[in-house]
C-alpha cells in the first residue's frame, strides 16, 4: 500500500522569494540555448535561465555545504546549477518536446552540512508548479519550508541540515509493485504473470485472480502516467480488497477473474517522466494502434483468451486536480447505464473526505484512450478512475475499499437487470 506517513508538506506562502525572483532579472540567452541542447529540448516555455556559477549538471551538483543528486529510481529528468554554497537550482524538464501534459515531476536527494540551511530552487520548463513538495529526511521538520513563485514558474525549498529526499509526490517504484503483486497473488490465491517487456526491458508484471476459465474478466490498470501516484494509492487499496473478497468467497472465482496490471509504464516511472514511456508516447493514447510494447502486451494477452472468457469491465487509475470518474456518455448501453447507477450513482458525497464527480464523455474515435478502446471493442463499462493530486490518502484508500466491495454486486445487478428486460 502506498504510504505518505513519512512525508512532510508545508507551504509558507505564495509570494515570490528573492532567489526565485532573481531568475527573471539575470538571464543568459547563451546559457539557456546550451542547456536546451544538453537536455535535448528544442523549444521551451515559461522557465528562464538562472544566473548560475556552474555549468549545467544532469547528474546533480555539489558544494562544500550541500549537494543534490538524481541517481535513484524515480528521480526526475533534471539539470542542476550551483548559485552559491548553500543555494542550488534545479531545472525540471519533460522527457520530450512540448506539447506535453503539465505534470512536472521532480525528485532528488540532497545533503546539507551543519551550520545552515540548504535552499533548492526548482524551476519548471514547459509547465507551472503542480505538485507540492514532499520531504522525507533527517533534521528538524520545522526548518523545512516552501515558497511558490506568484507566476508558479518555480518553487523555492528550504531544507534543514542532514540528508533526505524531496519529490512532487511520494516515490512509488518497481520494488513497491513487486511487493504488491506478491500480496495480491497470496491473498487472492492468484498467479503472477509477465505480459511482455517495455522498451527498457522491464517486465510488464500482472497478477491474475480467479479461475482461468471464469467467464467474466475485470481488467484493472495503473501508472500509465508516472507522476499520478494518488491514483496508485487508490488502486493499491482497491486491488487488495478484491483479493480479500476472492479469498473469502465473497467474489465467486468460478464466475469472475481479474487481470491486475498496476505498473504499465515501468520505464517512465523509473526515469522520472512526466507522461510518456521510453518511446516518447503517452500510453493512454496508444490503445488501438498498439505501437508501444506496454499496451501491446496487454492487448496480446487479451487476444489469447479462450472464447468463453470475455472482458466485463475495465478501470484505469489516474490522477488529476480533483476526484472524478470519466464514464460512457450518450453512447452508453442499457447495461452500462445500469452498472453506473448501481456502482457510483448517488454516492458522490458518500465517502468521508472523498467527494467525487461523474463525468460522462462520449467516445472520441481515434483518441487511443484505454477507456474508449475497451468500451468500443467489448461494449462494456470502461471508466477512468481519477484521484485528486492533493486528496487525503486515508480517505482515498477508504473510498477505494468501499468501491471495491460493491464492484461485483453492482456488476451482477446490472447484468441481471438487463437480462430480465
Q: Would you state the pLDDT for residue 50?
A: 43
pLDDT of residue 53: 52
Active site residues: 386
Q: How confident is the model at residue 70 (pLDDT cuts 50, 70, 90)?
A: very high
What's the pLDDT tens digit per position in 1-60? 443 334 444 444 333 333 333 333 223 323 333 333 434 433 333 444 444 455 666 789
Is the confidence at residue 287, as pLDDT, over 60?
A: yes
Higher pLDDT, 27 or 73: 73
- Kindly indicate the confidence band of residue 77, based on its pLDDT and cuts at 50, 70 and 90: confident
Which has the higher per-residue pLDDT, 84 or 14? 84
- Looking at the chain, the whole-number percentage of residues with pLDDT higher than 70 is 85
Q: What does the angle CA 105 – CA 54 – CA 164 come to, to the nearest 5 degrees?
A: 45
Average pLDDT over residues 303-332: 98
pLDDT of residue 6: 40
Dihedral of alpha carbons 180, 239, 381, 388, sign: negative
The confidence score (pLDDT) of residue 28 equals 30
State the pLDDT at residue 23: 33
Average pLDDT over residues 268-272: 97
Name the pLDDT band for 419 (thresholds 50, 70, 90): low
Position 418 confidence tier, pLDDT thresholds 50, 70, 90? low
| CA 87/CA 89 separation, integer angstroms | 7
Summary mean pLDDT of the chain: 89
361 SS3 class: strand
Alpha carbon distance 52, 38 (integer Å): 16
Region 53-73: mean pLDDT is 85
Looking at residue 24, what is its pLDDT? 33
Q: Which residues, including other chains, have CB under 8 Å from residue 40's CB and lie 6 or more apart?
A: none
Q: What is the pLDDT of residue 152?
A: 96
CATH topology of domain 174-420: Aminopeptidase (3.40.630)
pLDDT of residue 275: 98
| pLDDT above 90 for 201 | yes
- 225 pLDDT band, cuts 50/70/90, is very high
- Give the C-alpha separation, 254 to 167, whole Å: 43
pLDDT at residue 417 in the model: 64
- More confident of the two residues 40 and 144: 144
At 363, the pLDDT band (50, 70, 90 cuts) reads confident
Range in 11-25, 175-189, 246-260, 301-315 the model is least confident about: 11-25
Q: Where are the domains of the chain?
A: 18-167, 174-420
Looking at residue 153, its pLDDT comes to 96
Determine the angle formed by the axes of helices 407-420 and 393-405, rounding to 10 degrees: 40
CA distances from 373 to 46, 65, 84, 343 (A): 35, 53, 52, 21
- pLDDT value of residue 59: 85
Rounded mean pLDDT of 225-254? 99
Q: Please report the pLDDT score of residue 3 as a whole number.
A: 37
pTM for this prediction: 0.88
Residue 314 neighbours by CB under 8 Å, 6+ apart = 218, 219, 220, 221, 370, 371, 374, 375, 380, 381, 382, 383
Residue 108 pLDDT exceeds 80: yes
104: closest CA among 52, 51, 49, 46?
46
Mean pLDDT value of segment 273-287? 98
Q: What is the DSSP letter of 133?
A: P
DSSP 368-385: --HHHHHHHHH-S-EEEE
The pLDDT of 108-136, averaged and rounded, is 96
pLDDT value at 269 more than 50: yes
Section 226-231 average pLDDT: 99
Provide the percentage of residues in the chain whose pLDDT is more than 90. 81
Res 392 pLDDT > 50:
yes
Amino acid at each position: 500500500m502506498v504510504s505518505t506517513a513519512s512525508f512532510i508538506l508545508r507551504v509558507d506562502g505564495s509570494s515570490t522569494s528573492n532567489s526565485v525572483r532573481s531568475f527573471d532579472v539575470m538571464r543568459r540567452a547563451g546559457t539557456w540555448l546550451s542547456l536546451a541542447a544538453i537536455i535535448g529540448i528544442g523549444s521551451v516555455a515559461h522557465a528562464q535561465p538562472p544566473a548560475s556559477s556552474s555549468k549545467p549538471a544532469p547528474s546533480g551538483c555539489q558544494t562544500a555545504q550541500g549537494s543534490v543528486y538524481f541517481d535513484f529510481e524515480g528521480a526526475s529528468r533534471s539539470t542542476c546549477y550551483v548559485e552559491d554554497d548553500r543555494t542550488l537550482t534545479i531545472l525540471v524538464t519533460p522527457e520530450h518536446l512540448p506539447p506535453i501534459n503539465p505534470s512536472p515531476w521532480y525528485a532528488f536527494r540532497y545533503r546539507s552540512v551543519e551550520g545552515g540551511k540548504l535552499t533548492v530552487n526548482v524551476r519548471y520548463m514547459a509547465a507551472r508548479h503542480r505538485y507540492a513538495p514532499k520531504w522525507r529526511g533527517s533534521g528538524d521538520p520545522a526548518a523545512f519550508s516552501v515558497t511558490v513563485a506568484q507566476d508558479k514558474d518555480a518553487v523555492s525549498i528550504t531544507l534543514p541540515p542532514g540528508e533526505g529526499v524531496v519529490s512532487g509526490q511520494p516515490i512509488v517504484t518497481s520494488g513497491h509493485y513487486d511487493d504488491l503483486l506478491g500480496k495480491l497473488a497470496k491473498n487472492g490465491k492468484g498467479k503472477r504473470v509477465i505480459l511482455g517487456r517495455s522498451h527498457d526491458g522491464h517486465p510488464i508484471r500482472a497478477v491474475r485472480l480467479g479461475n482461468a476459465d471464469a467467464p467474466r474478466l475485470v481488467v484493472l490498470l495503473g501508472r500509465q502516467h508516472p507522476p499520478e501516484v494518488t491514483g496508485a494509492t487508490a488502486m493499491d487499496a482497491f486491488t487488495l480488497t478484491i483479493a480479500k473478497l476472492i479469498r473469502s468467497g465473497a467474489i465467486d472465482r468460478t464466475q469472475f477473474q481479474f487481470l491486475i496490471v498496476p505498473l504499465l509504464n515501468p520505464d517512465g516511472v523509473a526515469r522520472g517522466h512526466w507522461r510518456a514511456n521510453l518511446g516518447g508516447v503517452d500510453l493512454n493514447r496508444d490503445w488501438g494502434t498498439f505501437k508501444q510494447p506496454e499496451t501491446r502486451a496487454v492487448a496480446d494477452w487479451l487476444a489469447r483468451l479462450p472464447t468463453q472468457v470475455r472482458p466485463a469491465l475495465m478501470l484505469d487509475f489516474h490522477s488529476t486536480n480533483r476526484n472524478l470518474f470519466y464514464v460512457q456518455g450518450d453512447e452508453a448501453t442499457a447495461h452500462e447505464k445500469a452498472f453506473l447507477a448501481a456502482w457510483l450513482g448517488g454516492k458522490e458525497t458518500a465517502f468521508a473526505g472523498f467527494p467525487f464527480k461523474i463525468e460522462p464523455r462520449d467516445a472520441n474515435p481515434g483518441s487511443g484512450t484505454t477507456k474508449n478502446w475497451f468500451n468500443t471493442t467489448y461494449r462494456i463499462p470502461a471508466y477512468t478512475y481519477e484521484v485528486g493530486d492533493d486528496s487525503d490518502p486515508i480517505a482515498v484508500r477508504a473510498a477505494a475499499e468501499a468501491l471495491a466491495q460493491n464492484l461485483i454486486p453492482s456488476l451482477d445487478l446490472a447484468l441481471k437487470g438487463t437480462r430480465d428486460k
